[in-house]
Structure 1
Amino acid sequence: MLFAINYVAAVLPALLMLGAAWTPRLRRGSTISRWRGFNVLAVVALVLASISLALELVVVRMPGWRAFDGGHFWLSPNVFGCWVSLLVQFLGTVIGVYSMRHLRGEHRQGTYIASLAVVLASVHFLLLANHWVTLIGSWMAIGLGMQRLLTFYPERGFAQLAAHKKRIADRLADLLLIVAAVLAWRAAGSGLLSVLMERVAAGARSPELTASAVLLALAVILRTALLPVHGWLIQVMEAPTPVSALLHAGVVNLGGYVLVFFAPLLGISDVAHWCLVVAGLLSTVLGGTVMITRVSLKVHLAWSTLSQMGFMLLECGLGLYELAALHLLGHSLYKAHSFLAASSAVRNTRIARLHEDGHNRRSSLLWAPLASGLVVWCVQRWLAELPWPWWWSAILALAWAPLLWLPARHRRWHALTGLAMVIGFTAAVFAVEYLPLGASFAPFEAAGPLAVAGMVFMYAGFVALQWWPHGFVSLRQWIYAGFYLDELYTVLVLRLWPQHQPGSAGSRFPATQSVPARDE
């Protein structure tokens, strides 16, 4: 009985959001009344998502529960999926209320409401997917809904081009995912993901499963906008601010969920892990380095998303799926708040610059990784019963180090706040080992030293750029432009799939024109 109630509570949010997509057509009143109808359904869906998570946590502790046991249903809840579902529905509810005010007076709000509801419903279906058809169909529907949101202002040619580049990357990812599904389906004898997980857990190994794992990893790399298709993620900043929040805080993160869900399948292929490690590490280094050269807050946040997504996929490639799960939840909340509070952040940044707080003490750049490493070592010793690879402690120390940087005008609370954050984050990382994800994962030891070397290289770049703020002029120009990697992808896309330019029938973007990411 409890399983049935849990199932209904998990599926209803998706159905409610699907119904909300029709509110602009069913309600013939004012735009405000349409928004109110959407927001009411969103709140009800949020309550149901909370109930579903609570019931799922109870079901997990019941005797006989098995990981990814979805039976023969195409939709089936799981613990991590319920967490992400609650988070996305919460963000969708907040974004709906924010959009109602942010878009006041704008045309095409009915289309916006319908597209937002379709995206949220599709996300719920993806998080419930227990069949390849459900998974692929939901992910495709998310992409189609986001296309309409990203091109909310159809007269903006630059936004249209970025959306076109995203559409090409999505279609390539869909193709890889379909081939991966066919291979896994043949090997498992069923399209049900629960059956696939049971076969893999029982020791099933075959060339089809190995190839399916590699193609799945490549599809996720394309969907999460990692190198070399990252440019559209930076260039869609002309979309409304709540759309940016939904994209960066909810939609892009879904690649991390898919990798965590398919962790048993990925575990049988070292090639899949290497693909995630290399793409994740390169994206982390590029995004983190370019981010510190950008002035525009939204563009800065976009490059930050690239770096964070790279780091999340790096965690999955290293076999640290529990940390990727924690990272996904934390990054979603942080990025949603950052985009929705962008105007306040701009004002605070300007005030900080007036007081010359934008510069860091040079000495803190050197001792910060040592202090961060000491904190990580102490927490690890305190929780010594948990197995932990040495190289991950080094990666964490370098990742937390910027939290301990001190501004030029030193204030005591800066150091205390940074230290408290490092301690809290490190404790959360070790505590996440107890998350009931339903499976145990072994770290991918072979790629550990490479990941440490990449993080050291990135941190050394941070120190050099801040130690000599007026040096490396030529290098700074290349870094600012992202080493022109996106320009190569843009030229390739426009030559193979030319895009009509809005506002001029029959005209196209020049196939050889390089379109850099603007920083305005």
Structure 2
Amino acid sequence: MEMPQGLLAACALAPAVLMLAAGLLARFAAVATARLWSLFQLFSLGALAFTGVAAWIGPQGLHLPAALQATSFGLAMAMLVQLLGTVIGGFSSRYLQGEPGQSRYVAALAAVLAAVHLLLLADHWVLLIAAWALVGMALQHLLCFYPDRAFARLAAHKKRIADRVADALLVGAAALAWLQVGEGSLSALWAHVEREGMSPSLHLAAVAVVLAVILRTALLPVHGWLIQVMEAPTPVSALLHAGVVNLGGFVLIRFAPLLEHAMPARVLLLVFGLATAVLAGMVMLTRISIKVRLAWSTVAQMGFMLLECAMGLYTLAALHLIGHSLYKAHAFLSSSTVVRQTRLQALHEARRPSTLSLVAAPVLAVAVVLALQGAIGQGAWPAWWSALLALAWAPLLWLPAAQGELASRAGQVLAGVLMIAGLTVAAQLAHALPLGIVDTPHDVLGLLALSGMAALYLGLALLQMRPQALAGWRRWSYAGFYVDEAYTRLALQLWPTRWVPESRARDGAEAAPALAVEAR
């Protein structure tokens, strides 16, 4: 017996409805804190079960109302987001024990999850813009959960500015596309582009969408808020880095039918994505704070993900998004273990890799990836992407300069080769997942990206071989090349705000005369 269409549609909409109900309950009902967390977990597990049912039914079996559309990738993302939200909620209930304002936290967390579910189903400009804006507004309350932390308030303010500019760009893109197509449906836009091609207004719309994604995904030069928001509670950092900031990649994959024909937008993505991946990767090498390094690695990974979208490798971008989400959620929720392991490693003397291994590692890595790609027969990606991946994985083959037993060094090389081979095979097999994504690789853009990755590897190798010669560069890299400072000054000039709490500002004003007397 077939399920009624209304019931099928309810399976896809239920997660958003349940999370919205949890948020309203936390916001308006007078419920004890422990009871509130139990209800949130109950609603969250129910939402997770419905996402699983919807994914099992598949997009063809779900008959959603107008302005909504289920895709295979969207349903997979819904399961991932709800799973992370459930785990983060359980962690938060323990992390925030004894803290005031937990009902406000639960309401904001539930609102973020509800808005993300709507965004994953959006097939209309209005719903897409509204859902993404709601994600940002709900997240603001989580970022400022500790209102007395100045840098958290500054980060939230800078993110608010980037979000509002992104909203304006999306509204402009929607207006241009709506006038051209005659309606606001995204599916109608894909059909129009396939049937009649691109017009100047649609090229402008594609550029506006790309710029909005750049702003929302914390690419340079508006990345600073993602670094400073480390003062928010740790589970908020996990939610942000593992889920919310990755939504830009989902939107680009959703807009692949438009970007396929919009070369100016893809070039813009390539420039910003490559610059962010290279510069953030350099900065991460010079940072000591573990949570800050994790934040910078997110910036670099976002640049890398958008770079994959620019080259038309949308399946790789989707797999990258899923893998990054799982990794960052684990990294932040187990940050105490990461700190302990890093401190133990710091007790051992760091040894620089040998010059021979720095030169031989990329050659051997490229050979391994290309050999496996040839053995499989039908490669899931172009050869230039194999070379790019090999450069990213080459450090696994570095050997310390100190002399050691030949068998030990051979074992290290073999372990590195097996790890690269495993990653390659896993990536190839993952392409067989039914995500419903069509790739449109572009060779020229791919070769440009490969040259940028080669430059990054060369800089990294020089840093290992001649650390003293790059002392001046290290100072600039540690400061993030002062990009965020320029953006912060501009943001506060255009949109001034009091980001230092009044209590701290008052304490500073009272302390200033005493400090002046002491100085005299």
Q: Name the residue aligned to 1:24.
A: 26
Q: Name the residue aligned to 1:495.
A: 493
Q: Deviations over 1:198-223 (max 9, x none)?
A: 22232432222111111111110111
In the TM superposition, residue 72 of structure 1 has moved relative to its aligned partner by: 5.7
Task: Look at both structures and tell me which one has the larger radius of gyration over its CA atoms.
Answer: 2
Q: Name the residue aligned to 2:9.
A: 7
Q: How does 1:5-404 map to 2 (within 5 A)?
A: 5-25=7-27, 27-56=29-58, 60=60, 73-356=66-349, 360=353, 362-386=355-379, 388-404=381-397
Please, what TM-score do these two structures have when normalized by structure 1? 0.91
Counterpart CA distance in 1 for 2:41 and 2:341 is 31
Q: Deviations over 1:295-315 (max 9, x none)?
A: 111100001001100000000
2:479 aligned to 471, 475, 481, which one? Answer: 481
8 Å Cα contact 2:278-2:453 kept in structure 1: yes
Root-mean-square deviation (Å) = 2.3
Moved more, 408-417 or 151-160: 408-417
Q: Name the residue aligned to 1:514.
A: none
Query: Match for 1:40: what amino acid?
Result: L
Q: 1:348–1:272: structure 2 CA closer, same or farther, 3 Å change rule? A: same
Gaps of 5+ in 1: 63-68, 509-520
Moved more, 111-120 or 499-508: 499-508
Query: Match for 2:236: what amino acid?
Result: V
SS at the partner of 1:106? coil
Which structure has greater helix proportion?
2
SS at the partner of 1:21? helix
In the TM superposition, residue 336 of structure 1 has moved relative to its aligned partner by: 0.7
- Report whether the alignment pairs 1:468 with 2:466: yes
Counterpart CA distance in 2 for 1:55 and 1:415 is 46
Q: How does 1:407-418 map to 2 (within 5 A)?
A: 415=413, 417-418=415-416
Q: Deviations over 1:390-439 (max 9, x none)?
A: 32121111112223334678688755554333222222333344344435
In the TM superposition, residue 371 of structure 1 has moved relative to its aligned partner by: 1.9
8 Å Cα contact 1:27-1:33 kept in structure 2: no
Q: 1:353–1:361: structure 2 CA closer, same or farther, 3 Å change rule? A: farther
Q: Name the residue aligned to 1:455.
A: 453
Matched residues, percent identical?
A: 52
8 Å Cα contact 1:154-1:502 kept in structure 2: no
Counterpart CA distance in 2 for 1:362 and 1:22 is 60
8 Å Cα contact 2:314-2:437 kept in structure 1: no
Counterpart CA distance in 2 for 1:352 and 1:122 is 41
8 Å Cα contact 1:322-1:435 kept in structure 2: no
Query: Match for 2:464: what amino acid?
Result: Q
8 Å Cα contact 2:313-2:439 kept in structure 1: yes
Q: Name the residue aligned to 1:517.
A: none
SS at the partner of 1:191? coil
8 Å Cα contact 1:249-1:335 kept in structure 2: yes
Q: 1:507–1:349: structure 2 CA closer, same or farther, 3 Å change rule? A: closer
In the TM superposition, residue 372 of structure 1 has moved relative to its aligned partner by: 1.4
Counterpart CA distance in 2 for 1:168 and 1:434 is 40
Counterpart CA distance in 1 for 2:504 and 2:197 is 53
Query: Match for 1:451: what amino acid?
Result: A
Q: 1:398–1:173: structure 2 CA closer, same or farther, 3 Å change rule? A: same
Q: Name the residue aligned to 1:66.
A: none
In the TM superposition, residue 463 of structure 1 has moved relative to its aligned partner by: 1.4
Counterpart CA distance in 1 for 2:40 and 2:409 is 46
8 Å Cα contact 1:7-1:77 kept in structure 2: no
SS at the partner of 1:253? helix
Please, what TM-score do these two structures have when normalized by structure 2? 0.91
Q: Deviations over 1:332-372 (max 9, x none)?
A: 00111111111101111111222336755554333221221
Q: 1:167–1:445: structure 2 CA closer, same or farther, 3 Å change rule? A: same
Counterpart CA distance in 2 for 1:413 and 1:162 is 46
Query: Match for 1:460: what amino acid?
Result: L
Q: Deviations over 1:86-118 (max 9, x none)?
A: 111111000001001111111111111100000
Q: 1:70–1:29: structure 2 CA closer, same or farther, 3 Å change rule? A: closer
Query: Match for 1:34: what amino acid?
Result: L
Instruction: Tell me how many residue pairs correspond in the alignment.
Output: 499
Q: Deviations over 1:44-94 (max 9, x none)?
A: 1111111111111xx55x8xxxxxx98761222110001111111111000
SS at the partner of 1:202? helix
Q: 1:481–1:502: structure 2 CA closer, same or farther, 3 Å change rule? A: closer
Counterpart CA distance in 1 for 2:334 and 2:210 is 33
Q: 1:149–1:418: structure 2 CA closer, same or farther, 3 Å change rule? A: farther
Q: 1:503–1:128: structure 2 CA closer, same or farther, 3 Å change rule? A: same
8 Å Cα contact 2:9-2:64 kept in structure 1: no
Query: Match for 1:492: what amino acid?
Result: L
Query: Match for 1:459: what amino acid?
Result: Y
Moved more, 353-362 or 91-100: 353-362
Q: 1:446–1:226: structure 2 CA closer, same or farther, 3 Å change rule? A: same
Counterpart CA distance in 2 for 1:371 and 1:398 is 10
In the TM superposition, residue 503 of structure 1 has moved relative to its aligned partner by: 2.7
